[in-house]
Amino acid sequence: MKPKVFIALPIPPQAEAFIAEYCEYRKWDFKEPIPRETLLKEIVDMDGLLMVGGDIDQELLNCAPKLKVVSNISVGYNNFDLEAMKKRSMLGTNTPSVLDETVADLVLALVLASARRIPELDRYVKDGKWKKGSDGNLYGVDVHHATIGIIGMGRIGEAIAKRAKYGFDMNVFYYNRTRKIKAEENLGAQYCTMEELLQKSDFVVLMTPLTPETTRIMGHREFSLMKDTAFFINASRGQTVDEQALLEALVKGKIRGAGIDVYEQEPIDPEHPLLKMPNVVTLPHIGSATEKTRLDMAMLAAKNMVQALKGEQPPNIVDELRGVRT
């Protein structure tokens, strides 16, 4: 008998066809996210769950007595209650590496858009405000030869460093809990403390996973250490930043601007004061959102799940659940 899988969001037909070869499946095929109550009902008789973002917690596990694997279509897995999953010997997989270059492109886009005020000046032209001789008000700051500091020099962090170093001749600093000597050799990146990084960088980029340790890793103290002329870029998770502290730093001119892809609450409330700031560039959590990369992620997630259900070791079991046997 084929294992049963629930696909909790629309996925590309290729990924669905791959799953169909090995599994019976039901799917949620609507643009709106699946309501939690519906998900809890759908997974009652499932062996596998393919999804993105929803909480995999004790309540969900209680509703799914047969569930053996949860395959996230994302690299971040802060939605996993790792302790609850470990207790149930539940495998959890993610989609690392296939999205690194795409997310790094987007981070550089945020750096450039913030520094050169691209969304603001796009509106300026379209609103008919461009008059002869008015360009003195339109200056931004240089990205090339500036200093970038990457907090969280992992797979994506390194792809950002590569672009910064070889595309823009930037000085690259990074902070991790562990040094990466190879990255230092290959990318000319310099390891430093978080304090030094904040004090030296023209662009501070946050790219850590969301963990208890990184929750609000950027708060009042950290923003106060940044240069008044610096920009803050966040493409990690919204909860890594104290948004109120970021807002205050922007309002008081403690930092010059920000580029943000992720928020404490998503979607962010349209009335949120951060959205009223002209020096903040915002995006709707689209770091990996290109057609090719989203297809690659869905295929990888489908393969992770099928391998797990065949009793094989899928390649992308998240670190904390390695060694778990279903």
Ligand X SMILES: NC(=O)C1=CN([C@@H]2O[C@H](COP(=O)(O)OP(=O)(O)OC[C@H]3O[C@@H](n4cnc5c(N)ncnc54)[C@H](OP(=O)(O)O)[C@@H]3O)[C@@H](O)[C@H]2O)C=CC1
- Catalytic residue check, 285: yes
Binding partner selected for residue 209 from ligand X, ligand O=CC(=O)O, none, CB under the kind-specific 5 to 8 Å limit:
ligand X
From the CB of residue 4, how many other CB atoms can be counted at a distance below 10 Å?
A: 17
**What is d(CA 238, CA 287) in angstroms, rounded to the nearest whole number?**
13
Binding partner selected for residue 115 from ligand X, ligand O=CC(=O)O, none, CB under the kind-specific 5 to 8 Å limit:
none
Choose between 6 and 175: whose C-beta lies nearer to ligand X: 175
CB of 174 to ligand O=CC(=O)O, least distance (A): 20
Choose between 257 and 259: whose C-beta lies nearer to ligand X: 259
Choose between 40 and 282: whose C-beta lies nearer to ligand X: 282
**What is d(CA 10, CA 126) in angstroms, rounded to the nearest whole number?**
36
Counting every residue, how long is the chain?
Answer: 326
Catalytic residue among 237, 243, 256, 294: 237
CB of 254 to ligand O=CC(=O)O, least distance (A): 28
CB of 73 to ligand X, least distance (A): 11
**Which residues of this protein are in contact with ligand X, per CB under 6 A?**
75-76, 96, 99, 103, 151-157, 175-178, 207-211, 213-214, 235-237, 261-262, 285, 287-288
- Catalytic residue check, 237: yes
**What is d(CA 41, CA 111) in angstroms, rounded to the nearest whole number?**
43
Choose between 43 and 198: whose C-beta lies nearer to ligand X: 198
In this structure, are strands 69-72 and 171-175 parallel, antiparallel, or unpaired? unpaired
Choose between 226 and 297: whose C-beta lies nearer to ligand O=CC(=O)O: 297
User: Is residue 164 within 8 Å of 192, Cβ to Cβ?
Assistant: no
Q: Is 117 left (phi over 0), alpha (psi -120 to 50) or beta?
A: left
Q: Considering only CA atoms, which of 257, 233, 241, 52 is closest in space to residue 157?
A: 233
Tokens of 188: 């000319």
Nearest residue (beta carbon) to ligand O=CC(=O)O: 76
100-115 and 155-162 helices, crossing angle to 10°: 50
User: Is residue 228 within 8 Å of 253, Cβ to Cβ?
Assistant: yes
Return the residues of window 64-93 that contact ligand O=CC(=O)O according to CB under 6 A: 74-76
Catalytic residue among 26, 264, 285, 320: 285
**What is d(CA 200, CA 17) in angstroms, rounded to the nearest whole number?**
50
| Size, binding site for ligand O=CC(=O)O by CB under 6 A | 6
Q: Rounded to 5 degrees, what are φ and ψ at 175?
A: -135, 130
Tokens of 302: 């489908």
Binding partner selected for residue 155 from ligand X, ligand O=CC(=O)O, none, CB under the kind-specific 5 to 8 Å limit:
ligand X
Q: Which of 288, 304, 307, 316 binds ligand O=CC(=O)O (CB under 6 A)?
A: 288
| b/e map 265-296, b = 16+ CB within 10 Å | eeebeeebebeebebbbbbebebbbbeebbbb
CB of 222 to ligand O=CC(=O)O, least distance (A): 22
Nearest residue (beta carbon) to ligand X: 154
Give contact residues for ligand O=CC(=O)O (rule: CB under 6 A): 74-76, 99, 287-288
| Enzyme catalytic residues | 237, 266, 285
